[in-house]
Structure formats: structure tokens, C-alpha cells
Amino acid sequence: MVSVDIHPQNPPQFLDLRLFDLAPNAVHSRHTVDIFGRAHSRISFHDSSAQLIMTSALQLEFLDLRHFSAQHLRPLLDEESALWSQRLHWDYRSSASLVLQYIESHLLSGYAALDQGRVCGYIFCVYETNKAVIGDVFASRLGVDESAAVAVELQLIDRLLETLQHSPDLTRVEAQLLLHPHGLHREPFERAGFQLYPRLFMELELNPPEPSDSTPAVRPDEFEGPGGGHYRRWKNSDFELSPRLITASYAGHIDSEINDQYLSPGGAQRFLHNVVRFPGCGIFEEQASWVLAAPYDERLFGLLLCSRVSAVVGHVTQVCILPEFQRRGVGEKLLHLCAASLQANGCNAVTLTVTERNTSAVSLYRHLSYHVQYRFDAMLWEKRWH
């Protein structure tokens, strides 16, 4: 999952609203002025692709997301939260609440799609120096079929990508749209020159502990490990040790192409902040997060972080191991410890995501009985200097 910085210590930069030429399938358009006195584009669809949206012509308006308050977006976020629960068994409500807080503060950059004055879709991104991260895109499925909603999402993506790629100081754009199946939105990203990285959403079912079992699944808090190290649960001091481990583990790794936070200690620390101290990807589960630490805890050899994404589902947000400790059973041991901890605390499943081209990791997860539930896409664009 992409970590997105939208916390008070690092507020997102603003998106400049631009008026664009119409999409090819728009028969006519006019600029209108909303009640705030701001100009925007109004598009009427009549061609065959628009017939998927409604049997009669649909008029969509696209406005800067900062025009709106939380009450305008709340019904849409409630609907999206229900879809997260249905597709991925995630309780998205805390993340949705976070997004609404920043919409209310007019801090999120992006667009909203309006149909007859009702917000029917939105997209947002945040900025980090010369990089933008697309956090989400979603259009309502209420009263329309799936293809109609996707058509709205494609329009939103087109507009945001054009804005981002015309921003002179922007050199990189990342996106991971976990909620949406592989290939669903590939056309506008490929047209804009993005690279696509198929990823897997995998799940391991956890059997409930036997009622006759009088001992917990995970007994001691520490186990001996390779290289003189020891396995133990995460503790607060690991926050300062982890960036060095992350950057060393991801050097030359495909996932550092997708998420460049892994390439620097500062970026790794921002990633950790979002996972450990901020509910951007569930609620951090300290008891199910484990490390392989050196003697006296002066450094970390391996790390697994886990969050609760619902009352009964845990999600592994990070697994990284120093190269010299890979292929020594460390990853398998960390995953076993995490699963046992979650199982002992009432979870019935644990999930994770992995890049499809990371074949060694995929093989390990399959060996441990994780199965693919879902394929989705990560996207990357980098400015080419001529």
C-alpha cells in the first residue's frame, strides 16, 4: 500500500486548478460559474461510451476538490468504505474519516465530479517535494452499473494526470489503487506514459485456537535467531533503527522503483510514521509486529510490521530483511510469529500485498498457504529530460 502524508506535521501542498481542453468524446461544452464565482468545465456526453453511463445524456462537472466540505463527500466515502469491506474485508472508516478531515480543511488537492449538483466521484493526490502520490479515485456505483462508475473515474484520472504532468517542478508521480482490479484504469495511465506494475493482494486464513488449548499460540516474547540475533516484538525504540534497515533492504529492489520512500532514511522515516503512528493503513498492531534484532538491540536485521484493518483481519504492511540475512528462514519466521500473534488475539485472517515480479516473495507466501485474492496495479511516471 502507498503511504500518503496527510498529517498536520507535513500538510499536502495545493493543486493549481487548470481548465483543460475537452476529452475527444465530448460533443460540446461550456464554462460555467459555480456559486463561489469560480469557472469550471461542463461536459455533455452523447457518444457510445457515454451511453454506458445513462440512457439519456449525462452532464458532469469537474471542480477543484478544495471547493467542497466534508458533508459533500461523506455519502461517497461511506459508499466507498462499504466497497472496501466487501472486496478486501477492510474497515476503511478510519481512513475515510482522515480523508474527510483534510477535505474539511481544504488541504487535499484533486477533483470532484458532479452530476446534477451531487458529488458522484473524487480523486486526490498529495505532494512531497518534487513528487506527487495519487491517494485514491472513486466514483459512486449507486443507480449506475460498474462501467458507468469506471467511466467517471477515468475522467477524473485524465484531469488529474494532465494537471500533474503540466506542473513544472514535478518530476515523479506514484499511484497504487488497491481498491480497483488490475487493468481497470490502465488506459489513461498508459496514455500519459506511466509504467504499470501488477501487484497481488494475498490472504492467509487463520484457524481459531482450539478451546482445549490452555497455552497461547505465541508463548515467549523472544526467540533466538541467526547471526547472534534474537526475534522479539516491536518496541518504540525500533522507530529510530528501522530506516537504516529499510534503505539497505530495498537497494536495487523493484519495490523501490514503485515507492521511492524506500531509497532514503528520510523517506523511510515518513513511511514508518504513516504506518506506525498514523491510521493511514489500519491501526498499528504492536503485538503482531516483530523484528530480528542484533545483540543489545544496536541494530535490526529484519522487520515485519502489521496493522489491524478490521476487528478480525490483520495486514502486513512491511517485511524487509538485510540482504545477508535473506534465504535463512528469517522472513518465514517473522510471518509465522505475526500470524500466531494475530490468531491468539482473535483474528481470522492476515493479508499482505506483493509486486508480482517479486517472484521469490510470492513463492514464499504461497509456500505458507497465502492465496491470491485480488490483482491490482501500481503506477509510476518520471519526467524524462530531453
Give the per-residue pLDDT at 204: 98
Task: Check whether 231 has a pLDDT greater than 90.
Answer: yes
313-321/300-310 β-pairing = antiparallel
Q: Confidence band (pLDDT; 50, 70, 90) for 213? A: low
- Distance (Å, whole) CA 202 – CA 371: 5
Cβ neighbours, 10 Å, residue 147? 11
Q: Is 37 helix (H, G, I), strand (E, B) or coil?
A: coil
- Distance (Å, whole) CA 364 – CA 20: 47
| Cβ contact 376:176 at 8 Å | yes
Task: Check whether 374 has a pLDDT greater than 60.
Answer: yes
Give the per-residue pLDDT at 263: 87
Q: Return the minimum-mean-pLDDT range out of 170-179, 263-272, 334-343.
A: 263-272
Task: Check whether 23 has a pLDDT greater than 60.
Answer: no
- Distance (Å, whole) CA 192 – CA 186: 10
Greater model confidence, 86 or 129: 86
Task: Check whether 226 has a pLDDT greater than 60.
Answer: yes
Q: Confidence band (pLDDT; 50, 70, 90) for 280? A: low
Q: Return the minimum-mean-pLDDT range out of 64-68, 138-142, 263-267.
A: 263-267
Average pLDDT over residues 106-112: 95
Residue type, 15: L
Give the per-residue pLDDT at 340: 95
| Cβ contact 355:197 at 8 Å | yes
Q: Confidence band (pLDDT; 50, 70, 90) for 31? A: very low
Helix extents (H) in the chain: 70-88, 93-104, 146-165, 186-191, 238-250, 254-258, 265-276, 330-344, 359-367
Task: Check whether 3 has a pLDDT greater than 60.
Answer: no
pLDDT tens for each residue of 376-385: 999 999 998 6
Residue type, 244: R
- Distance (Å, whole) CA 83 – CA 88: 8
Q: Confidence band (pLDDT; 50, 70, 90) for 9? A: very low
Give the per-residue pLDDT at 58: 58
Give the per-residue pLDDT at 39: 37
| Size of the chain, expressed as the number of residues it contains | 386
Give the per-residue pLDDT at 297: 83
- Distance (Å, whole) CA 31 – CA 21: 11
Greater model confidence, 13 or 314: 314
Q: Please calculate the CA angle 350-354-358 and round it to the nearest 5 degrees.
A: 140
| Cβ contact 126:114 at 8 Å | no
Q: Return the minimum-mean-pLDDT range out of 192-201, 211-220, 251-260, 322-331.
A: 211-220
Q: What is the mean pLDDT of the chain?
A: 84
| Cβ contact 196:173 at 8 Å | no
Cβ neighbours, 10 Å, residue 175? 26
- Distance (Å, whole) CA 288 – CA 186: 35
Task: Check whether 315 has a pLDDT greater than 50.
Answer: yes
Cβ neighbours, 10 Å, residue 142? 11
Average pLDDT over residues 199-212: 85
The three cell numbers locating residue 190:
498508459
Task: Check whether 41 has a pLDDT greater than 90.
Answer: no
Q: Is 117 helix (H, G, I), strand (E, B) or coil?
A: coil
Give the per-residue pLDDT at 36: 31
| Cβ contact 125:134 at 8 Å | yes
Task: Check whether 161 has a pLDDT greater than 90.
Answer: yes
Task: Sketch out the chain's domains with CATH numbers.
Answer: 26-193 (3.40.630.30), 201-374 (3.40.630.30)
Q: Return the minimum-mean-pLDDT range out of 51-60, 168-177, 203-212.
A: 51-60
Give the per-residue pLDDT at 210: 66
| Cβ contact 104:70 at 8 Å | yes
Task: Check whether 268 has a pLDDT greater than 60.
Answer: yes
Task: Check whether 46 has a pLDDT greater than 50.
Answer: no
Q: What are phi and psi of 98, to 5 degrees?
A: -65, -45
Greater model confidence, 106 or 225: 106
Task: Check whether 28 has a pLDDT greater than 50.
Answer: no
Give the per-residue pLDDT at 223: 76
Task: Check whether 166 has a pLDDT greater than 50.
Answer: yes
